[in-house]
Amino acid sequence: MLAAGLFLHNVMADEFIVDDIRVNGLHRIAPGTVFNYLPVTVGDRVDEKRTQEAVRALFKTGFFKDVKLSRDGDVLVVSLIERESIADITFKGNKAIKTEDLVKGLSETGFAKGEVFNEAKLDKVTQELRRQYYSNGKYGVKIEAKVIPLDGNTVTVAFNIFEGEAARIKQINVVGNKVFSDKELLEDFKLTTPTWLSWFNKNDQYSKQKLGGDLETLRSKYQDNGYLDFHVESTQVSITPDKADVYITVNIAEGQQYTISDVKLAGRLIVAEDELFKQVSTRKGELFSRKQVTQTTKNITDRLGDEGYAFANVNSIPKLDRKGQLVSLSYFIDPGQRVYVRRINFFGNAKTRDEVMRREMRQMEGGWISTAKVDRSKIRLQRLGYFEEVNVETPAVAGATDQVDVNYTVKERPSGNLMLGVGFSQSQGIIFNTNLTQNNFLGSGNSVSLAFNNSDTNRVFRVGYQQPFWTIDGISRGFGLGWTETEPGARLRNVTRFKSRTASAGVNFGIPLSEYNTLGFGATFEDTEIGIDPRFLSLEVARFILLEGNKFSNIRVNSSFAYDTRNSGLFPTKGVLQQIRIEVATPPGDLNYWKVDYDSKVFVPIYKQYVLLFKTQIGYGDSYGDTYELPFFENFYSGGPRTVRGYEESSLGPKDQYGDSLGGNLAVVGNAELIIPIPGLQELKSVRLTAFFDAGNVFATKGTFFSNPEEFDLGQLRLSTGLSGVWLSPFGMLSVSIAEPFNDQPRDKIQRFQFTFGTNF
């Protein structure tokens, strides 16, 4: 800068009027950028003072290592040497923090590929990297930066990082608590002192972000229990000289506990006051709870959103009576303007047709917006199974104050599936699978499937076609053809031994009665042939063949009703599924019988990620007309991973003379399960762990030629308890359970450890 100043003093001693400006030395930076920052233009009178100002202005940009101004007649000559640009930024030795996260942190400081390299920034950049590591508890980190010159006036900046060991939390102290003990407060913290799982979930490594979350959890615990004045006075985080241990001290002031003295609604009440009060979860006489206040504001906002007031603002205003330890709550409502939907747009659906997505919409164009309908439409898109991700936005329409667009952005997943594989089931042995499924055939939303499965006990060939929207009203229609051969002669299924061959063809329809209710009906033609092996022929099978024959052509009609409010089709955490199905084999078929199946699943969230699940399965069947009894191959079975765990599959109920299960015309199964979050795997959606209690059995209430009718007896239910895990692996569904049976009888077949892999569960 001094050299440039002396140069200017010699050549700019006399002022002159600039007739032109010439810029030399530019390679990467455009001349327009120089003229932008240069405080001199053509026609200006220039003297030594003005040129010094110009030099300082160009240096200040940080783009140049050297700036010189000279005069060529009445032409101002600007000679520049550009700073290098950053061609690449590399990291070596980083494991705790991903490279992309480090790059993102640097880019926020203006240090990124393509930017001008300024060595003065390098120290600031290194400090930013240290800050990122400190926030992750890596206080012993060492960072070396190396600048490598390249051709083309560019450089590579290489960071060599030695992360060191993360500092462990030695102690967490809460000071000032009287209402709750240290143990009660710290049990909700994500940060803890070392435990036997810390090597996996890293919860003993200090993180500024995690501490901030824990302090918010602490604040919520107090304010949800009436301590409205609670606040964190200070937080101290100290580290030992060897940077190995961290001590955390949180100083709090609990304040007083407040009871709600009154609840009022104020502002512009678009919806009737008594209707809005139904959304209020804070009640007079109860302790103040921030959680309930937040829930109330959300409930009211959602209710107004259903009426088209998408941008309603609801504020809770507490009025404290510190002397009486009372709080009066007023919810001030500003509904804003009613908003209408101009257009519904879809983005990202390269394959799926627009009409397939549009028919799932519950929000309509031209009507006022309903946040509930927008969200429900999103859920319906997610449940199609065609998309990995669905996002929705409601941007305002430019130039309109009462209109929005609803934009759904999706990320498509491959809807075709070709599976060639081998699985194993304890009930069916080795299973060879070939499944070709196209759930979104040519983007139409229709499903086409072809399956061939071969195991030690079953051979199945099946083709199917399903139209979820056969009509514009959402009536579905499907067709199916199948061929099944069963030969459990090796006693793998525990059932009475016989052979069967069944060919079938059917059609089914589904009629949506409401958003959550569906009515179904269908018909199937079946041709069945029963084969026997005289060496293993049970008396019951022989008697049925003697009375009815061994070849049957049947027409089975069915009707079903389903009520489904689950929030997911795979691993639900809340909602109800109720299904009932009635099936009748009708004339002019060879056999006349009927069956009723009831299936119920109720998911009840109880605390955080803990969920109670109650399952009920009841089945009953009987014959009518000229058919003597319910065909033995239509009996219900119980026992195994899908019904009562701890007992071999299909092993419960009446037995033949060989000790194999005959099944029964009545099945009763109940399951109570507690879904448990797995430590360190709470965010993993493909794994589920449950503690369970199972009860169930099958009964022959009509009796047989060789036995008297059984009465349903609660005392005859088989019971078990244990743990079960399910993993949706890349290779198929794996289900594992460990159970301890009780109330079992001497002839029962116990199997404490059970698993299936590669088959449905």
The CATH T-level fold of domain 500-757 is Porin (2.40.160)
Please give the average per-residue pLDDT across 225-239, as a whole number. Answer: 92
What are 639-686's pLDDT values in tens digits? 988 899 999 888 898 888 888 888 999 999 999 999 998 766 666 667
Confidence of residue 436 (pLDDT cuts 50, 70, 90): low
CATH class of residue range 259-334: alpha beta
- Greatest alpha-carbon pair distance for the chain in Å reads 128
Q: Pseudo-torsion of CA 390, 392, 398, 402, nearest 10°?
A: 150
Kindly calculate the radius of gyration of the chain based on its CA atoms and give it in whole angstroms.
37
Mean pLDDT is lowest, of 79-83, 196-200, 215-219, 311-315, for: 196-200
In which band, very low, low, confident or very high, does the pLDDT at 733 lie, cut at 50, 70 and 90?
A: low
What percent of the chain has pLDDT above 70?
90
| Class of domain 168-253 (CATH, top level) | alpha beta
- What confidence score (pLDDT) does residue 671 get? 96
Average pLDDT of 235-263?
91
Half-sphere exposure of 724 (CA within 13 A, CB side): 29
In this predicted structure, the answer to whether residue 98 has a pLDDT above a threshold of 70 is yes
Question: Of 125-134, 288-297, 469-478, which has the strongest mean pLDDT?
Answer: 288-297
Average of per-residue pLDDT across 466-481: 90
Residue 433, pLDDT above cutoff 60:
no
Q: What is the pLDDT of residues 690-706, one digit of tens each?
A: 999 999 999 998 866 56
Say yes or no to pLDDT of 155 above 70: yes
**pLDDT band per the 50, 70, 90 thresholds, residue 520:** very high
* Residue 454, pLDDT score: 67
- The CA distance from 82 to 733, in Å, is 61
Q: If you average pLDDT over residues 177-184, what whole number do you get?
A: 92
**Residue found by looking up tokens 């299924």 in the block:** 493
Distances (CA, A) of 441 to 171, 353, 448, 507, 601: 59, 11, 7, 19, 31
The answer to whether the beta carbons of residues 690 and 611 sit under 8 Å apart is no
**CATH number, span 85-162:** 3.10.20.310
Among residues 705, 645, 709, the alpha carbon closest in space to that of 671 is found at 645
Q: Which long-range contacts (CB under 8 A, 24 or more apart) does 488-493 make?
A: 488/457, 489/533, 489/536, 490/429, 490/456, 490/457, 491/660, 492/427, 492/428, 492/429, 492/456, 492/457, 493/427, 493/428, 493/457, 493/649, 493/650
- In CATH terms, the superfamily for domain 2-82 is membrane protein fhac (3.10.20.310)
Question: Given this model, what pLDDT does residue 730 score?
Answer: 58
Computed over every residue of the chain, the mean pLDDT equals 85
> Is 61's pLDDT higher than 50?
yes
Q: Residue 460 pLDDT more than 90?
A: no
Over range 193-221, report the average pLDDT. Answer: 83
User: Domain 340-412's class?
Assistant: alpha beta
CATH 2.40.160.50 spans which residues of the chain?
A: 500-757
Higher pLDDT, 201 or 70: 70
CATH 3.10.20.310 boundaries in the chain: 2-82, 85-162, 168-253, 259-334, 340-412
